[in-house]
Each structure stands twice: as structure tokens, then as C-alpha cells.
Chains A and B, each alone.
Chain A
């Protein structure tokens, strides 16, 4: 188990225990230890693009040769490019809102690519990279933010639950799903199933997340809790959520917690594969804290310049998840300029396709308001729909819906 950043006071420790409590500065130092390279951080690729060895986790990425790493790089570039395009489209009034993932590409691609087809992922609302990794067409994700749809994709086909906007709700939903996997006997060997659930540092303050930890623990659910600690819950910093590093909370619930460099795609892949394997073999749940940084606003309605210093962003830019892979690949890692140019061209084409689709996205017809409220509709709702549609038909030029 990882060592503590500070000693927990225990009953009977006497007055000295009070003195052992951390000062606010110590709390912040502990929470942010990895800004300077915390000892507890699992990392396989440094910000400078140097491959570092991990006796525990190297074997989980043995298969990641140059081609596979180039694939992860491409994934991250495409997802970032799509994210920037969507952000721009929001600024142009084409999307109602956008939730940027800038800076979190490694956490999402690394964990998303660790999943097997049979696994299930429960996202929050920033997991566009995980969606992409699960084979969800980002055009369908875009519909949510252009406000034409609440969730377009087939959750079963992709193993990717609808986005959940109420903070922390999905953690309990994921715990229930994973309990179902356990009840159905899908746990116990390499071919078993597992579930992964995404949430942020702010969500860890929610009761549902705590309850999700309790449920998953007492039912031994094959569930990987994947907390992307991006340091900010809108304007509230992590020290407003916790006194100790978030991964250390797992101990209180009786399962392993680990902090991984969330800007290191290789480490995120390895740690997620390890955690999923633990779950498949019945040793779940596992908490992963992916220590990362939200480089843009919380959403396009947010203004981070009101609450954080630009120095902070500049510091994190040096730990960019894409640049370190690029550096590694370029420095004898198996990629030449032609590869990078091709990925750039692919990402531009990907973004253009999204833009084209967004601008021409069909608006849902008015009857959609009433559709699928229930599996079996009700007479009142049917009457309300008929009355409204007939009201609409009364307008000149009606009948186009």
C-alpha cells in the first residue's frame, strides 16, 4: 500500500494527535504532490517523453509496440481536435454548450482502450474520449450539446451508458450494473466482464459516490472507479473536496486505490488494465485516481480566469498528454514526420466532418417531445400530444413537422 502523506490521528493519541493534523498548506501539498512528481504517482512516460520502468505495471503494456503507441497518439490527437472544433462551434453559436476535455485525453483514451467489448462504461458528461474509444460516433455526442437529443447512441452495442449530468448519480448506477455482472456469474476468469465508472474530483464529495463505494465493496462488484481529478470542480479546487489524496479514500472502504499520472496514456492504459483484471478475477472494486488537469474551462459558460492563475496552466502545459507521446515517438520511438503530418490531416478531416454534420443536424419533430416518456404510454399523455399536434396544424404553413 502507498505510504501516507501525513499521519492520521487515532483515538487515544492525546493532544499530540491534534498537532499531527495537517495544516492547510500540508493538505494542499499532499493533494498536489504530483505537480512536483509525487512518490505515489504511477508513471510510465515522463512529461519529457522518457519511458520509465514500473515493475508492477510494465507487463500490462508489453503489447504496446510502436504501432500501438502510434494508435494511442492518433486517438488523442483526433479527440483533442474534435474537442477544439466543438468548442469553436459553441463560440459560433452552433452548440448550446460544450464541455471541453482538453488535457484529459490520456486519462480517457488510456482507460477507454483498456476496456474489452463486453465491458460497460458509465460516463459523466466530459467523457468524449471514452465515447470515441468505445466506438460511439462523436456526432451522436454532439447532438446532446446542440440540444437535439439527450443521448443518441446504443448503450448496449457500445458498452457505453448515456451521459449522466447530475453529479455522481452514475456511480451508483454503475455499482448496480456491476453487481448484476457478479450475480450473473460473469466474474472469475480472463473472459469475465467488468464495469468502469467515470467521475470527477468534485463528485467525490457527493453522497452517491460514497454510497457507490460502499455498495461495490460489500457486494464485491467488478467495478473500476475512475476518478479524473482535473483539480477543479468548476471553481472549487480539490482542497475544497478533500483533506487527503483522493485515491487514499479507497482504504476506508476496503479496496485498493491508486494514483496514476492522468496525463500519461501508457500508465492510464496499464493501470486500467490491471484494475479491470482485478475486477474480472473477483478482486474488485478498485479506485483509480487519474491525476490530470482540465486545461480549458469547466464548460463554455465558465471563466477560469476568475479563479485560477495562468501560471498553473502554464505549468501543466509542460505535462501535456499528447506532447510527451509525440516526443517519445519522434525520438526513435517509431514515428517520422510523415506520420505526424498524416495524423494532423486525419484530425482536420475528422473535425471538418463533425462541423459539417453539426451545421446540418436535423431538428427533432415536435412529436418527439412526447415520445418514449413511458414504455407503455398513458391516455392523458396521448391526449396531450394529439391536442398539441392538432394545435400546431392549425397554423398556416403547418404540416412540415
Chain B
């Protein structure tokens, strides 16, 4: 009998972490407040109680220290899972991530593996103060040696975190913090089932009028837009990228060949970003299929604004529909 559990994204990650720790004693969780408090979002709730302080480490308060010691622990044979409290605090650890985590495997021609997962709650919409709502994932996707994924739903969250921990490559695991505890996104998960491939994107809604590609928190926006568009007689195909590095764009190419139109959606600023890369690759692969230029719906090329303005900054359903109309008007 399948063990079906109905879980939010947050609970799904928690259970995924628990499963990973049960199956491999070398898995460690480390970060600020991840122990007794269970993390500021409670994602690691209860794990220290069950696995002890040596496997769930409440660390000193320094991100370079968290990542830098994880490197040494990985060299020693552990599989550290680092939690960064908010994406805006990852930058003190950026040096260790790009200089050591990303390069040790290459530098040693495979002698040293870096099976490190860095969990990063990211994105806006929670009404937070500065440094708590950003989308820096493109900065990491640009770095050779790192892999980057982002989950948009509980099923992927549950399986994705376990697969990321099992992988021998370092993985930045971007979690949509706004959706952690969304009851609407609760999903029934066969927790003993078989997962999808981690590094594949997926069509989550089929359509024929235009394609919308998104990841993380934006997938929900894309799906909401698709539902609204249906009322207007437009059929949007929605693709959840899931993997940001490597980018799996084959399903996107296939979809664009069908619909002729692509809207790339992300909360991040647009310049030199993942949506830029998607636009470049789609025009390269699907030039003769495109009925309109690839259009983007993104955050603006500004620092994240004060949260009283974030409803204007964050791409929403209306901006997506407006952009679909622009594409169709071509």
C-alpha cells in the first residue's frame, strides 16, 4: 500500500530531509537556528531532537563559516546540507561557494567531491524588510561547477531535496519561501514512490496559444494566469523549469515549436539573467517557429523595493496576461 501524505512545501522538505538523514548517517544539517528553533521558517523542525546536535548543527552566525566548514566536512566524507536563512544573506558565503564549492572537483580532476546542498529560501511577497525577498539564482546559475534547482510544489520539494542530497555535485536548492506553508499547494505525496528526474523541466499545463516558462514561486503565477486566460479563450502552456543549472530547455523548445510564442517569467531582475539565457537559446533553436519575439515578465532592474511596493515589482497574473496579449499582437 502506498503511504500517501498530504503535505505543504515546507513539510515536504522537512520530511525529505528526515528521509535523507535516516538513509545516510553522513548527512548533516547546518545553519543558523536550524536546531532547537527548527529554522526561522521551521523547515528543519524536530530534526535536531531526533538526530542530535552533531547531525543538526546550530552554527555560529556567519555564512562564509557555514559554507567554508561544509567544504571541509565534504572533503572528510560528510554530506552537508546548509541552510541560508534568507537569500539576501548568502553573499558573505558567496566567496566560498564560487571559489571552493564550485571548483574543488575541477581543480582536483574529480579526486574531491563536493556533495553539498545549500538551501536558500528566496523570492518576495512576504512583506519583509530589505534583504529578505530577493531572487539571486541567476548569479549561481552562471557559475560553472554548481547546479541550481528551484521547486514550485510539494512533490518536487519532497523528492528534490533527497535527490539533491544524494547527488555528488554541489547544489543550490532555491525554495519559494512565500509558498512554504500554503495550504492551497498541499499535495498528496506517495512518500515511498519513485521520483522524477531532478534535472528535467516539465510541462505542468498544456496549451496551444502561447508558452509561459517559469520556476519556483512564479509557476503558481503562470498557472493562475493560464486559468484566467482560459476564460478569455486563450490556451497557455505552462512549463516549470525546475532545473536552473543545467537548464533543461528541450520541453520549452518543443512547446515553442507548437505555440510559436514564449513568455519567460521570473521575479528576478531581467538583465543578464536566466530569462535572458532562455530568450537567447529559444531564438537560437526555434527561430523559424517563433511568431513573436520572446518576451519577459520579470522583476525590474532595481534593488528589491520597500515591501509596500512589492505588489508592483513582482510579476503577477495581470502582467503575464498583458504580455501574452503583446505577444499575440505581433
- A residues near B (Cβ < 8 Å) are 122, 150-151, 154-156, 161-162, 164, 166, 169, 171-181, 183-184, 207-208, 211-212, 214-215, 218, 371-376, 378-381
Contacts and interface: CB of A to CB of B under 8 A. Distances in A.
Given A180-B78, A380-B247, A214 B60 contact: yes
Given A169-B95, A169-B99, A180-B77, A375 B72 contact: no
A290 B96 CA distance: 26
B100 interface: yes
Contacts of B54: 183
B73 A177 contact: yes
Given A173-B100, A176-B72, A208-B65, 18 more contacts: A150-B106, A155-B108, A172-B65, A172-B67, A172-B96, A173-B72, A175-B68, A176-B68, A176-B73, A177-B76, A184-B76, A211-B68, A212-B68, A215-B60, A371-B110, A376-B167, A376-B169, A381-B246
Nearest to B199: A378
A178 B69 CA distance: 9
Contacts of A150: 106-108
6 contacts: A150-B106, A166-B100, A172-B69, A180-B77, A375-B110, A381-B246
A379 B243 CA distance: 13
Contacts of A172: 64-65, 67-69, 71-72, 96
A177 B105 contact: no
Contacts of B105: 372-375
A375 B106 CA distance: 9
B70 interface: yes
B144 interface: yes
B65 A211 contact: yes
A155 B111 contact: yes
Interface of B: 54, 59-60, 62, 64-65, 67-78, 92, 95-96, 99-100, 104-113, 144-145, 147, 167-169, 199, 245-248
B88 to A, nearest CB: 18
B246 A215 contact: no
B72 A371 contact: no
Contacts of A173: 68-69, 71-72, 75, 100
B76 A181 contact: yes
Given A176-B75, A180-B73, A374 B64 contact: no
